[in-house]
Structure 1
Amino acid sequence: MKIHPLITTSEELAALCARLAKADFVSVDTEFMRENTYWPELCLVQIADTEEAAAVDPLAPGLDLTPLWDLLTDNEEVLKVFHAGGQDVEIIFNFTGRTPHPIFDTQIATMAISQSEQIGYSNLVESWQGVTVDKGARFTDWSRRPLTERQIEYAIGDVTYLSKIFPKILKRLVKTGRGEWLDQEMEKLADPEHYRNDPTEAWKRIKAPSRNPQVLGRLKAIAQWRELEAQNKNIPRGRIARDETVADIASHPPKTQADLAKVRGLSQGWKDNEIGRRLMNAIAEAEPLPDDELPARTPRGAPLGKEGALVADLLKLLLKIRAREIDAAARLLARNDELELLAAGVRKNLSLLQGWRYEVFGRDALDLVEGKLAFAVENGKLKMTHVDDAAVVEIPTSQETASAAPAAD
């Protein structure tokens, strides 16, 4: 594979993208910094096909990235391959308002052909290539120039290995017939709505202090205010105010700006500075959250009770057994919160009861909840048995056992 020197001119980048546009797929990775900023600072883009690889310097003066963005977001003929690509896709969306498509994520794909939940890149390379990746440049400051040869070599390695591993993963997927399992997951990864930053939705990321419409209305207003402040200053939102501070103010709003000095997590200066005034205006203008925006009462785990909790535990055991049997990641088959909802009696809008998940796991999960499936031990191994094929012994509760016990003399 040909490795190019660091690309710093528009002419070099345009020529590279013209060649890569003829490939079946390109592997992509980015290096960025976001510790001190709201928006990630893109510092390097690595891209490769099976013939050549290069690192592109987006910080190079006058570099026109348009051919690169067009290749990644407009060219439907070229598959874009990432590993754990959520943040990479977010950066591309921030620059272009578009996402790469079609897309393939090797971390997600590995979940369909192994029990690895979230395999890291280094482990992926070691597993599929037998190579130990040098992690020396992993935590480097990618914004500093000039980049060293070691940094560039490390960065390009991310896509050269990926270009070799992807065809192997694809071959395994074809052999197992599990490619369709990933269609929905890949489309979700490429969905622009997943990366659109709407300040009016920011409150949903904060643990709600209550379901009171007044409190939630303030929470929405304060979270939106914080998001806009952080965006305008390009600093992490936590530098403005931490989540717990936002929730506390929503629950116990200060009556005057001077009271902000008493709020835990805010400095004394807030009692008379401009940012404090803007916060007080946001609180004053907050309106109660409308009924149609109120969070559902039981979105993450309906009330289970003791028996329901036991059923949920059995479902989780069933999930582990099934994942081991078919050599797939349990997390891909079902989420724990869905198992708890199923145990609580919910049947609608559960992904485990739809499509391939229902065929692979959901049907048996439903049978277990409805008493049509039991656990058995055979040759020292735990297995599932349908009740039509085995006698089911009901285990008495502790109260039943106590009532049936003979009275003491």
Structure 2
Amino acid sequence: MKFILIETSNDMDAMLDHITNQPIIAVDTEFQRETTYYPKLALVQIATDSNVICIDPVAFDAKPALKEILLNKNIEKVFHACSQDMEVLYYYLGETPDNIYDTQIANAFLSDHHQIGYAALVENELGIQLDKSQTRTNWLQRPLTEKQIQYAGDDVLYLYQLHNILDDKLQQAGRKSWFTEECSNLRDNQNNFQVDVKKLWRRVKGATKLSQNTLIIVQYIAEWREQLAQQKDRIRRKILTDTILIQLAFDKPETINYLDPIIISRDRSQYQLNENEKQQLIEIIQSAQQAPESEWPDNRFSVLDNQQKAELKNLQQLVNDKAEELSLSSAIISSRKDLENLILINSTESETGASPIDAKLNIVQGWRLRCIGQQLLDRVASNK
């Protein structure tokens, strides 16, 4: 395999036909996001049948070429554990790639390893030990070292080989249709990258235990924090930590003098609100207190009662039994959260009119519904 570093539009144009004429390519990304709200794309690696191509979007505008490649439905793109790659590409391209083949998901349908790492999968299937010394390297620094380029290229070099091995095994196991269905849902998950500001309070640690009249303040502050985090491109906890956010909801400061002791941090990496932003925050808290009860977040059904917890254990056992029967990890069949939501939605169906199927829970869709979902639906329905 020939390794090629693309740092100019002219070099990219020279390789574009070669890449877009491939039926299958392997893809990986390198990015940074430790301190920023939005991930920063640093490198895109693509393997074809004869080349490993590292595209440097820091050196030139690679967006037009990457759109032509990654949004092409006729090219199958092989990733490993693609969720973070999909997110960074969503923010860079404005949408996510189509026609995805995820080798981590493929392996999950062939073993009881739900989220096997790339290095472990390469060693298991190819007997090759990868150098992981560059895992924590700074991918935005330039120039890239030869060691960085080799490391990045290796990530797609072996992906290309894994595709054929895993695909044969899926066909032999009779699970290719399950896998195809699972991968077809990956592009739909781009909605996960679009933040629903009205539900941000659910991400605030400890929020579900609060009363509704306090929770509405948490909701308003969480929305304001998110908007400021996006504007400043800072991770949300560096704007306000969850602990401070909840304290603000309880204390309801009415002046900057009252606000300052709550929000001032000794952490130098913490964003320091200016006077205008402090005043905005005070006004947000005041607006939240005036919100009508009809707008208060409904947290009544966010926590299981004792009877529902017992039912959750029963459902988990059914899932575990099915996983053992299929020699799969129970996690690929259903998450604990999906089972909790199945119980909660079922218990409120008569009140809300929404069924578990209407809510599009994974456990009652597609292959999962056929495999065990209907059994779970029947079980929770019998407990109404």
What SS is found at the alignment partner of 1:43?
strand
Deviations 1:337-371 (A, max 9, x none): 34456678938415434442233234555677799
Aligned to 2:47: 48
Contact 1:28 1:47 in 2 (8 A): yes
Aligned to 1:285: 287
Structure 2: distance between partners of 1:341 and 1:98: 28
Contact 2:346 2:381 in 1 (8 A): no
1:29 is aligned with what amino acid?
D
Are residues 1:168 and 2:170 paired? no
Structure 2: distance between partners of 1:89 and 1:245: 32
Are residues 1:130 and 2:130 paired? no
1:67 is aligned with what amino acid?
A
Decide whether aligned partners of structure 1 residues 277 and 328 sit closer, same or farther in structure 2, where only a CA change above 3 A counts.
Answer: same
Aligned to 2:64: 66
1:304 is aligned with what amino acid?
N
Deviates more, 1:182-191 or 1:169-178: 182-191
Aligned to 1:196: 194
Structure 2: distance between partners of 1:159 and 1:214: 51
Aligned to 1:35: 34
Deviations 1:13-50 (A, max 9, x none): 12223211111121111111111222212111111122
Unaligned runs of 5+ in 1: 372-409
Are residues 1:331 and 2:328 paired? no
1:66 is aligned with what amino acid?
P
Equivalent residue runs for 1:198-217 within 5 Å:
199=197, 201-207=199-205, 208-209=207-208, 212-217=211-216
Decide whether aligned partners of structure 1 residues 79 and 249 sit closer, same or farther in structure 2, where only a CA change above 3 A counts.
Answer: same
Decide whether aligned partners of structure 1 residues 211 and 156 sit closer, same or farther in structure 2, where only a CA change above 3 A counts.
Answer: same
Decide whether aligned partners of structure 1 residues 272 and 353 sit closer, same or farther in structure 2, where only a CA change above 3 A counts.
Answer: closer
How many residue pairs match? The answer is 365
1:242 is aligned with what amino acid?
T
Equivalent residue runs for 1:332-351 within 5 Å:
332-340=332-340, 346=346, 348-349=355-356, 351=362
Structure 2: distance between partners of 1:282 and 1:267: 24
Question: How far 1:85 sits from its partner (Å)?
Answer: 1.3
Deviations 1:233-265 (A, max 9, x none): 222211111122212212331122211133266
Decide whether aligned partners of structure 1 residues 271 and 83 sit closer, same or farther in structure 2, where only a CA change above 3 A counts.
Answer: closer
Deviates more, 1:278-287 or 1:342-351: 342-351
Decide whether aligned partners of structure 1 residues 103 and 290 sit closer, same or farther in structure 2, where only a CA change above 3 A counts.
Answer: farther
Aligned to 1:383: none
User: Between Structure 1 and Structure 2, whose CA radius of gyration is higher?
Assistant: 1
User: What TM-score, normalized to structure 1?
Assistant: 0.79
What SS is found at the alignment partner of 1:275?
helix
Question: How far 1:70 sits from its partner (Å)?
Answer: 2.1
Structure 2: distance between partners of 1:119 and 1:133: 14
Contact 1:213 1:289 in 2 (8 A): no
Decide whether aligned partners of structure 1 residues 293 and 345 sit closer, same or farther in structure 2, where only a CA change above 3 A counts.
Answer: closer
Deviations 1:347-396 (A, max 9, x none): 8415434442233234555677799xxxxxxxxxxxxxxxxxxxxxxxxx
Structure 1: distance between partners of 2:292 and 2:177: 40
Structure 2: distance between partners of 1:72 and 1:354: 27
1:68 is aligned with what amino acid?
L
Decide whether aligned partners of structure 1 residues 248 and 45 sit closer, same or farther in structure 2, where only a CA change above 3 A counts.
Answer: same
Structure 1: distance between partners of 2:344 and 2:226: 36
Question: How far 1:294 sits from its partner (Å)?
Answer: 3.1
- The percentage of counterpart residues that share the same residue type is 33
Aligned to 2:117: 120
Contact 1:260 1:271 in 2 (8 A): no
Contact 1:115 1:328 in 2 (8 A): yes
Structure 2: distance between partners of 1:327 and 1:345: 29
Aligned to 1:298: 301
Equivalent residue runs for 1:224-373 within 5 Å:
224-263=223-262, 266=265, 273-286=275-288, 288=291, 291=294, 294-295=297-298, 297-299=300-302, 302-305=304-307, 309-340=309-340, 346=346, 348-349=355-356, 351-362=362-373, 365=376
What SS is found at the alignment partner of 2:115?
coil
Structure 1: distance between partners of 2:286 and 2:342: 42
Contact 1:270 1:276 in 2 (8 A): no
Structure 2: distance between partners of 1:33 and 1:271: 25
What SS is found at the alignment partner of 2:179?
helix
Which of 86, 97, 100 pairs up with 2:97?
A: 100
1:100 is aligned with what amino acid?
P
What SS is found at the alignment partner of 2:43?
strand
User: What TM-score, normalized to structure 2?
Assistant: 0.84
Contact 1:47 1:159 in 2 (8 A): yes
Structure 1: distance between partners of 2:345 and 2:89: 41
Structure 2: distance between partners of 1:272 and 1:71: 44
Deviates more, 1:284-293 or 1:185-194: 284-293
Which of the pair is proportionally richer in helix? Answer: 2
What SS is found at the alignment partner of 1:27?
strand
Deviates more, 1:358-367 or 1:63-72: 358-367
